[in-house]
Amino acid sequence: MFSRKRIALLYALLAVAVSVSAQEPKVQVVDKVVAVVGKNIILQSDVESQYVQYQMQGMVDGNSSAMRCAIMEELMFQKLMLNQAEMDSVTITDSEVEMEMNRRISDLVGRAGSQEKLETIFNKTMSEIKEELRRLVKEKCLQDQVRANILKGVVVTPAEVRAFYSSLSPDSIPMVDEQYEIVQIVKRPPISIDEKLEVKDQLYKIRKRILDGESSFSTMAVLYSEDPVSASKGGELGFTGKGQFAPEFEAVAFNLRDGEISEVVETQFGFHIIQLIERRGEYVNCRHILLTAKVPVEALEKAQHELDSAVMLIRNGDMTFEEACLKFSDDDSKTNGGYISNPMGGNKISLQDIRELEQYNGFGEFKNLAFVVSRLEEGKVSDPLPMTTNDNKDAFRLVMVKKKIPAHKANLNDDYALIQSWALNQKNQEVTSEWIRNKVKKAFIRIDEDYCDCDFQFEWQKK
């Protein structure tokens, strides 16, 4: 079975595989082939690039040769899966690669804070970053399909979960951070027709100025667009395949002619006008200008007053939180008692998880939540709090800590789902290890003499 460190390396995020930023010192090596797995090669520069990236992440602790050996084994496993993908005629379309690449780019932009910051980090333009990621994404997608086939049908029974937990020594049972079960009542004030009409009218005026030649689309995007990522780029979104835009946006964008400017389009994010810059097969590069209709102050005040009433009913014991949730909440969670779900699964979530989710625009309901939750006693209801919903709309909510679970050693009663995931992970490792042992017996593998002294987990070459 793999050690924890090697498993962590084997399943490292693709984002780590992007080449090192120019602002970090690059390792100068005389490049050479250091391993061959089937028809796939591994270069010394591949190992060194990955090594420097792990240094940047603080994953190198002492023995540099041991880390390089671990990286080599990780890369050989990846190439072994690519070899299997070719043998099994596993294919992936260009559109699938593009879609996954754009998803990962969006994640990287979210982590960096903006497209400009991402380009600064890597010292490359967005098109250069995408070009570099494209091959890596394709290989990763093929590897994922092979891995899915390897682990197809692997499950753990309740008996196996209990047996796994019983096999752990008391000292090796991990601690679980303090967790919370959080419920909320959300009031989403409607945006008036007048507000929407005013925004649409403003967009049509901007569109007319562009069509009349008073200003360019890109200039107007810089001046007026409320999309913080694209506005500084003149509204340009870059080449994107289907499935990345809101359906209403996509239906218009993919039917424009080069240079054509759309009518006003409404999506969950607001109102847009779109200009097609260029089409390449199934991909389009567009500019857009986004304006959002604001919730009127009077509507927000009304929402706050309604929640003031709900707070009094709950605190006076005239209504349970669940009853108030059904009566007052405009959120889909009202049918589930108002629970805020952990995106990773379940209703339990730690403050650290909340703080990490606060960094992503796609999880608006977690904004400022850690501060509130950390100061609430179990069973106590907050005062009405302003919030931004996941679709970027102003709203108010009440928050209550339904249950506070102190930090503790994992146990089957409180943490069954977590322990089940550990047991499944171990079983996946065992199945993967057996697959590797079987495949290395049949595959052509050659390793450079510089790595022959590595203490590999598997016997990649017969001695």
Per-residue CA distances from 412 to 128, 177, 178, 415 (Å): 49, 16, 16, 5
Tell how many helices (H) and how many strands (E) occur in the chain.
15, 13
Whether 436 maps to a domain, the answer reads: yes
User: What pLDDT score was predicted for residue 119?
Assistant: 82
Among residues 255, 271, 291, which one ends one of the domains?
Answer: 291
Q: Tokens for 24, please give them.
A: 């970090």
Number of domains observed in the structure of the chain: 3
Measured between its terminal Cα atoms, the distance across the chain in Å is: 21
Q: How far apart are CA 236 and CA 302, in angstroms?
A: 38
Under 8 Å between Cβ of 384 and 304: yes
Range of the domain at 66: 4-157+416-451
- For 366-400, how does the pLDDT look when each residue is reduced to its tens digit (9 = 90+)? 888 999 999 999 999 999 999 988 777 889 999 99
User: What pLDDT score was predicted for residue 1?
Assistant: 35
Q: Are 336 and 308 part of one and the same domain?
A: yes
Q: Are 14 and 65 part of one and the same domain?
A: yes
Whether 248 maps to a domain, the answer reads: yes
Under 8 Å between Cβ of 286 and 237: yes
User: What pLDDT score was predicted for residue 238?
Assistant: 80
Whether 85 maps to a domain, the answer reads: yes
CATH of the domain at 358: 3.10.50.40
Q: Are 362 and 426 part of one and the same domain?
A: no
Whether 104 maps to a domain, the answer reads: yes
Q: How far apart are CA 188 and CA 222, in angstroms?
A: 30
- For 313-362, how does the pLDDT look when each residue is reduced to its tens digit (9 = 90+)? 999 999 999 999 999 999 988 988 999 988 877 888 999 989 888 876 55
Under 8 Å between Cβ of 299 and 280: no
Q: Are 363 and 243 part of one and the same domain?
A: no
Q: Are 385 and 430 part of one and the same domain?
A: no
pTM confidence score: 0.61
CATH of the domain at 38: 1.10.4030.10
Whether 38 maps to a domain, the answer reads: yes
Q: Are 259 and 341 part of one and the same domain?
A: no
User: What pLDDT score was predicted for residue 56?
Assistant: 62
Q: Are 200 and 282 part of one and the same domain?
A: yes
Whether 164 maps to a domain, the answer reads: no
Q: For residue 13, what are the contacts with CB-CB under 8 A and spacing of at least 6?
A: none
Q: Are 261 and 206 part of one and the same domain?
A: yes
Q: Tokens for 456, please give them.
A: 């590999």
Q: How far apart are CA 380 and CA 460, in angstroms?
A: 59
User: What pLDDT score was predicted for residue 61?
Assistant: 65
User: What pLDDT score was predicted for residue 30?
Assistant: 59
Nearest to 361 by CA among 115, 110, 105: 110
User: What pLDDT score was predicted for residue 29?
Assistant: 47
User: What pLDDT score was predicted for residue 456?
Assistant: 93
Whether 354 maps to a domain, the answer reads: yes
Positions of the chain with pLDDT under 70: 1-30, 53, 56-63, 110-111, 360-364, 463
Q: Are 334 and 232 part of one and the same domain?
A: no
Own/partner long-range contacts of 54-58 (Cβ < 8 Å, ≥24 apart):
54/9, 54/16, 56/20, 56/24, 57/16
Whether 64 maps to a domain, the answer reads: yes
Under 8 Å between Cβ of 292 and 271: yes
Q: How far apart are CA 264 and CA 273, in angstroms?
A: 5
Q: Are 203 and 263 part of one and the same domain?
A: yes
Q: Tokens for 315, please give them.
A: 């605190």
Which residues are paired to 186 by β-bridges?
Answer: 397
Q: Are 17 and 126 part of one and the same domain?
A: yes
Q: Are 31 and 132 part of one and the same domain?
A: yes
